Amino acid sequence: MNDLTHPGYPTLDELIAHVQKYHPNEDMGVIERAYRFAENAHKDQKRMSGEPYFAHPAHVALILADLMLDPPTIAAGLLHDCVEDVDGCTVETIEKDFGSEIALMVDGVTKLTRMDFFTREQQQAESIRKMFIAMAKDIRVVLIKLADRLHNMRTLKTQKPERQIPIARETLDIYAPLAHRLGVYAVKWELEDLSLRYIDPEGYYSLVEKVGMKRAEREKWIHEIIDSIRDGMEKEHIHVQEIDGRPKHFYSIYRKMKTQNKTFEQITDLIAVRVIVDTKQDCYAALGIVHSLWPQVPGRFKDYISVPKDNLYQSLHTTVVGPDGRPFEVQIRTMEMHRSAEYGIAAHWRYKEGKAADSLDEKLGWLRRILDWQSETGDPGEFGNLLRVDLFAEEVLVFTPRGDIISLPKGATPLDFAYRIHSAVGNRCVGAKVNHRIVPLTTQLETGDFVEILTSANSHGPSLDWLNMVKTSEAKAKIRSFLKNESKDENLARGRDLLEKEARRLGYSFPQLCKPEFLDVLYKRYTLSSLDDLYVTVGFGGLSCAQVINRLAEEFKKTQKPEAPKLPTPTETQQARPATPTHATQGVVVEGDPNMLVRFARCCNPLPGDDIIGYVTRGRGVSVHRADCVNMQDEGVEPERMVQVAWASSASAAYDADIQVIGYDKAGLLADLSTLFAALEVPIVAVSARTMKNGTTQITLTLSIKDTTQLEKIIKQLRKRSDIIEVFRVSS
């Protein structure tokens, strides 16, 4: 901008003028007061770029105005960082000055920001949960959050390089799919392209260059297509409000290249032409004209008008083969459908008041289902993983016997369909028909299938195996709820037995780990209320006993401060023995005797880097234990038989270490781990695996390693994998 007096961000007059374009009769006073309040509150703050901090909320408000939201939402966008970043500004302050409606929105956005977690994965999972709770109260909270993220992505270059990729990855994993689910495609596409710029800059700029190289040729080709469509419409007397063509978004092209393993030159349908007409009837008439002009590509027609998407999207899509044999996509819709396609739920918000409220609430039925699932799911991590399947997956549209449409994620089975209808239908399910033929309950449904559930009042209800047969988190939650409530006594006894056995296997007694302070950490992590609740949850497969014992053991170890054992006073015989030089056997130095046989205790498997103690055995030399080994704290241990041992500084031997990996049961997991260890040059000495009924697999590996540092690096690398739930070191 040439105006040197311009602040570098949207002025109040510019913002109000923008809102008045679509809300000409609204009172702009609340926007003016919020603008001046936030500008003054942030006056002494700067962004990392050096620009005034207020530039951020001002741009967020402008993005919300681009989405054509109401003045209270624009005001909340201006104020959204005040409670978080301005001393002395509270939600009560906002409520006093701007009313409860705006205060609730500001509070909702603030709660999405104020989160303290141990890992990024845990933070992401809890972020999603909090977002959906906030959405249930007021959908505008998440629209503000999306606008906030969009402006942060536009200015991501000012962040430190090491922060750019994690932020971009989170945006691509969470916020872009959320924008898609809400139908706000204008935000979704920009978030995806901006994220790609940082996640794969070479791929992004290569695409920009290749798309730009043929711009003149492409624009000429698009004009020819548009002219042909316009002429065809005029002949049939169909009024066209708007028609344009453009290349598909960079991320869309990039994703197709990656998923289909194609080069840029092999991607043929790079162009999308959008036709906007007056009525729904005109949409179908326009489709006929397009198909009369060019041949249709079989299997590439989608009618989202008669069967709209859950996110309110409506349009006709068809792919045809145009001039020179090049295919392109045509999208046909009305102006109302177009607004919905661009702005999704934001376009419908203005109709919330009055008669359209029930209609809008129906379109947000998926949100209510998600909140039902989250109340059944204690683990935020599990909730996050399941949402990635339900919320962000491709969908299939199937029909009930009455012709109602049910949307399910790709890969869903008849059991998922049954539980979507009602919990009672799922619990009493004994079979299913798809397209009037009886099929197994594991059958994957396809778009267009007619599904009928066979039920019986004598059904015994779901079993643990059903958890492996369903795809949706909704079905999993309802199955677990049934198993938890119907067989509580059995689950309680089974869970207690499993936990006690697992504790003994790892060298602990379960009462030793059941201190209230240890259990409180577990209760908070998995939203449990009591020890009985924990037993029941483990008993029906909601948690693995390894997860529980490992976490309790971690808390127990924090309270232990092992001290080096005091050596007994040497006997007269030992005093008379001539001093001998320190001698290393198997990488361990035993004080006082160079010829002493050394072996490593299998109860704790010590490794270089562990604090160790020695225990003189009868006839088998010195047994080397970890200093915190439970067996060395037993009442039967004789202190006079303890000797001082230490790791030799030049030790270069390899040692066996046992780890347990808990992962999702999937084909090829063991092979993937073997390949990983081969790449790390870590030999596998032994391996055993078993599949659990809750859909997980437990793999115990004995690795040949050098020291604890190497082992910790291996465990950290394994924990980064999305198919691994937990990894920990175990004793044999």
Find out whether 598 and 586 touch, Cβ atoms under 8 Å.
yes
Quick count: other Cβ atoms within 10 Å of Cβ 457?
Answer: 5
Q: What angle do CA 557, 558, 562 make, to 5 degrees?
A: 65
| CB-based contact 373:389 (threshold 8 Å) | no
* Number of other residues whose CB lies within 10 A of the CB of residue 61: 32
Choice among 84, 244, 361, 520 that is catalytic: 84
Instruction: Report how far residue 147's alpha carbon sits from residue 139's, in angstroms, rounded to the nearest whole number.
Output: 13
Can you say how many angstroms the Cα of residue 107 is from the centroid of all Cα atoms in its chain? 24
Is 85 labeled as catalytic in the residue annotation? yes
- Residue 52 carries which DSSP code? B
| Active-site residue, selected from the candidate residues 26, 51, 66, 85 | 85
Ranges assigned E (strand) in 583-711: 583-585, 588-590, 598-600, 612-616, 622-626, 642-643, 645-647, 655-664, 684-691, 696-705
Contacts of 513 (CB under 8 A, 6+ apart): 503, 549, 552, 553, 555, 556
Kindly report the backbone phi and psi dihedral angles of residue 86, in degrees, each rounded to the nearest multiple of 5, phi listed first.
-115, 120
**What distance in Å separates the CA atoms of residue 625 and residue 604, rounded to the nearest whole number?**
6
Cβ distance 121 to 173 under 8 Å?
Answer: no
Whether the CB-CB separation of 269 and 260 falls below 8 Å is answered with no
Strands 271-277 and 327-334: parallel
Other CB atoms within 10 Å distance of the CB of residue 98: 21
27 carries an active-site annotation: no
Judged by phi (left if over 0) then psi (alpha if -120 to 50, else beta), residue 443 lies in beta
Beta carbons of 711 and 705 less than 8 angstroms apart: yes
**CB neighbour list of residue 448: distance below 8 Å, 6 or more residues apart:** 397, 398, 399
Active-site residues, by number, are 84-85
